[in-house]
Amino acid sequence: MLEKIRNIGIIAHVDAGKTTLTERIIYFTGTKHKVGDVDDGNTTTDYDPLEAEKGITIQSAAVSVDWSGSRITLIDTPGHVDFTAEVERSLRVLDGAVGVFCAVGGVEVQSETVWHQANRHRVPRIAFINKLDRTGADFHGCLQQMREKLGIEPAVCSYPAGQSSEFTGVIDLIRMKFWKQDESDPAHMRYTWTDIPAAYQKEAAEWREHLLEAASHGCDTLLEAIVEGKPISEDMLRNAIRHGTLAGKITPVLCGSAKEFHGVRMLLDAVAAYLPSPKDRPPVTGTVPKSKEKEKQQRKPEIGEPLSALAFKTISESHGDLVFMRIYSGKLEAGSIIHNAVTGKSERISHIYRMMGARRDRLDSVGPGEIVAAVGLKQTYTGNTLCDADKPILLEEIRFPEPVISQAITPAKNVDEAKMADALGRMVRDDPTLRTKVDPETNQLIISGMGELHLEVAIHKLMRDYKVQVTPGKPMVSYRQTLAKEIELEYRYIKQSGGRGKYAVISMRFKHLSKEELAEWTTFQEENDDKPDPEGLYFVNDIYAGAVPKEYIPSVEYGFRQACKKGAKYGFPCVDIEGTLFDGKSHEVDSSQQAFESCAVECFKEAQLRAGIVLLEPIMNVMIHAPGQYMGDLTRDVSRRRGEILDTSLDKGRCSLHAYVPLAELFGYTSELRNFTSGTASFTMEPSHYAPVKEELADLREAV
C-alpha cells in the first residue's frame, strides 16, 4: 500500500556515522544477518573498493528494508562536500530524510549545507544525535546548535541516560520508559522496557514537557488537551508529532549510538510513524513538452494515472547503463516501451531492480512511490523525465553546482584516444559536477570538479574501471572574470572581399552586475517562468524604430554569450554582465545573422580591452577543528593563506575556526594541517562565493 512506503535519505556531515547507522538499520530489519563495519570495509552501501579503502561514502547507494509493516527505501548519501551532487539528486526524489549529527562535533559545515538543501526541496526530516558514547559528547550543546544554525523547533522524542563514558542507553519520552539492552546478547537483539533510572527521572519529566509543548505546535487537539489538563495518550502525541513534522513546524529529535546499537530501532519506529509516504506529499508538477505557454499539469501518486518518472542517477556498466528512477505516477513494467520527454525518443525497459547496495532483486513491475533501477535505457541521463508517449509530461530538471577546481591529465602514450573519450563521456554523464575539455591553445586535457578529493576519485575510476592510464598534473583554480567598469561603444563589422560582403554595426552598453542587480534579474526571470542564468549573463534589447532588424537581434545576443565563454585577456568565462543593445545599422544586401553574431563577439572583446577586467577567484567556506593549543597556529596559518577569519571558539579543550579562504591557497592543506597538528586536526570546506583577486596573486597557468 502507498501509505506504507517511506523513501528517505540519510544526510549528514562526513564522519557523523551515516553509513554505520544505515548498516545497523539493515541488520535490525532482518535484511542482513551479519552486521558490517566501516573500519572493516564490509558495509552494504559502501561497496565500491575505493569507499572501503578510504572509509568514506563517495556515491549514494539505495537499500530497501521492511519495518513495522512499512517498506522503507533508504539512500545513504556522502557527507563530503566534494560529492554534494549525490545529495542534491537524492533529495530531489525523496519524501523524507534523517539528519545525523555527531554529539561531539555538533552541527558542522556540511550538516548545515545538506540541511538547507533539504529545506529547498521541502523534505520533512527527523534528526538523530549519534555517538553519545564518545568522549566529549554534548547532547544539549548539539540541540542548541540545531536551533541556532538550522533554525528548527526540536521535538526531543528520546533522551540520553548519561553521556560519554557514562552513557548507558536511551529514554523514550513518549512511552516514558528506559530501553534496557541485554548486554549479554552478542546479537544485540534482546531488550526490555524498564522504569527510567532514578538519576534521570527529573530530567526526563522536564524534557517530556518540552516535547508536549513542541508537539502542540502541529496539533490543535493536543494543545486543547494540554490546556484542559486532560491525559495525553501515546497515540495522540505521536499523531501530533507526525502532523507537525509533515507541516514543517517541528523536527523530531532522537538519539543514541549507532555503533553500539543504541537508539536505532526507536529511530526506525519514528521513520515509520512521522515521515511522509508518497501519498502525503503534493502531486508532482510538470509542463507539457513543447507547449508554447509552458502549460502546467500534475500527476497524482496513483497507479491509474499516466506514467511519470524521473531519472536521477546513472551508472555506466560494461553490459549497459543502470538508471535509478523515482516513479511518481502510473505503472512501469519490465519489457515496456516508454517515452523520454527530454530527448523525445522512445526507450525500452529490459529489467527493473530493487537495489540492496550492490545486490539487485529483479521486479516485474513497480508503481507510484517506488525508487528502483532499470537497465535497457540507452539515451536516458540524469534529470530526464520518463513518461507515456501519448500523455507526456516534463518534470523540473535537477540543478547542480558548477565545478571550482581543474586539473590537467596527460594520457599515456599507448592510450587509445577513442577509448579515453568514451570513458570520459560516460563519467561526465554519470556525474554532472564533473567536466572535461581540451584546451584549444595548449592541447591539454582538463578535468574539472568540486574539490581535490573529487578529482582524485574521478582519475582513480578512469584508470581502474576504464583501464585508461593517465598522469595527473597539479590542480588548477577555475577563475572567472568580469568588467572593471561600465562602458558604451559602437562596433562596425564591415568586410568586403568580392561578392557579397559582411555588414553589421551595433552600439552596446556593458556593465558588471552587483549582487542586488543579479537578485533583481533572478526575481524577474522567475516571475516570467524563465530560469535565471547560472553565469549571471543578461541581454537587453533596447532597439527602437528598427535600427537593427528584429531578425538579427537574437544573433547579437548569441554572439555576446559566445564571447563571454572565454575572456579576451584570459581564457576564463566572463560572469555577472548585462549587455544592452540600443542602436545599430544594417545593409539590405550585405547584412546577415552571421555578420551580426561576429560583430557582437568582437564588440564585447573590445569592451573588455577598454573597460578592463576584474579577475574573480573561488572562495571556500572553511571550518577547522583542533585541540585548543593550536588556535594561534591555525589563526596565523589561515591569515597567511589570505583567509578572512569569521569566528573562533574554544570549548572543552577543542578549538574551532571558521573562515573564508581562497581555493588557490588550500591545495595540499589536508597534509599540511595533519603535519603541524600531529594528525589531531580536521577541516572541511565548501564553495561559498567568488571574489576579486589581484592578477599577480592568481595562478594563471590555465589562462590563454
CATH of the domain at 300: 2.40.30.10
> Do 391 and 373 lie in a common domain?
yes
> Do 46 and 65 lie in a common domain?
yes
Mean pLDDT across the chain: 88
**Predicted local confidence at residue 82, as pLDDT:** 75
**Predicted local confidence at residue 704, as pLDDT:** 41
**Predicted local confidence at residue 42, as pLDDT:** 55
pLDDT of residue 481 exceeding 50, the answer is: yes
Q: Which amino acid is at 57?
A: T
The C-alpha cell at 49 is 573498493
> Do 313 and 376 lie in a common domain?
yes
CATH of the domain at 46: 3.40.50.300
Residue 232 within a domain = no
pLDDT of residue 32 exceeding 60, the answer is: no
> Do 570 and 648 lie in a common domain?
no
Burial 481-497 (b: 16+ CB within 10 A, else e): bbbeeebeeebebeeee
pLDDT in tens, 508-541: 999 999 989 998 998 888 888 788 888 899 999 9
Task: Determine contact, residues 411/473, Cβ cutoff 8 Å.
Answer: no
> In the listed set 460, 478, 496, which residue is the last one of a domain according to the structure?
478
> Do 604 and 623 lie in a common domain?
no
> Do 17 and 145 lie in a common domain?
yes
Read off the pLDDT of each residue in 634-656 and give the average, rounded to a whole number.
Answer: 90
Residue 236 within a domain = no
> Do 391 and 493 lie in a common domain?
no
Residue 164 within a domain = yes
> Do 474 and 450 lie in a common domain?
yes
703 — pLDDT class (breaks 50, 70, 90): very low
**Predicted local confidence at residue 340, as pLDDT:** 94
Share of the chain above pLDDT 90, in %: 53
pLDDT of residue 34 exceeding 70, the answer is: no
CATH of the domain at 456: 3.30.70.870
> Do 501 and 441 lie in a common domain?
no
Pairing of strands 487-495, 502-512: antiparallel
Read off the pLDDT of each residue in 388-400 and give the average, rounded to a whole number.
Answer: 89
> Do 355 and 386 lie in a common domain?
yes
**Predicted local confidence at residue 45, as pLDDT:** 59
501 — pLDDT class (breaks 50, 70, 90): confident
pLDDT of residue 1 exceeding 90, the answer is: no
Instruction: For residue 495, give Cα distances in angstroms to 507, 555, 623.
Output: 18, 18, 57
> Do 628 and 571 lie in a common domain?
no
Residue 234 within a domain = no
CATH of the domain at 644: 3.30.70.240
pLDDT of residue 441 exceeding 60, the answer is: no
pLDDT in tens, 194-238: 999 999 999 999 999 999 999 998 788 898 888 888 889 999 999
What string of H, E and C letters represents the secondary structure of 53-103?
A: HHCCCCCCEEEEEEECCEEEEEEECCCCHHHHHHHHHHHHHCCEEEEEEEC
**Predicted local confidence at residue 117, as pLDDT:** 85
258 — pLDDT class (breaks 50, 70, 90): very high
Highest mean pLDDT, choosing among 41-50, 137-146, 677-686, 691-700: 137-146
Task: Give the domain extent around 344.
Answer: 284-395
Residue 400 within a domain = no
Residue 310 within a domain = yes
> In the listed set 415, 443, 478, which residue is the last one of a domain according to the structure?
478
Compute the distance between CA of residue 401 and CA of residue 392 in angstroms, rounded to an integer: 28
pLDDT of residue 293 exceeding 70, the answer is: no
Residue 366 within a domain = yes
> In the listed set 559, 591, 611, which residue is the last one of a domain according to the structure?
611
pLDDT of residue 370 exceeding 90, the answer is: yes
> Do 596 and 693 lie in a common domain?
no
Higher pLDDT, 453 or 284: 284
CATH of the domain at 542: 3.30.230.10
pLDDT of residue 321 exceeding 90, the answer is: no
687 — pLDDT class (breaks 50, 70, 90): confident
112 — pLDDT class (breaks 50, 70, 90): confident
Domain count, the chain: 5
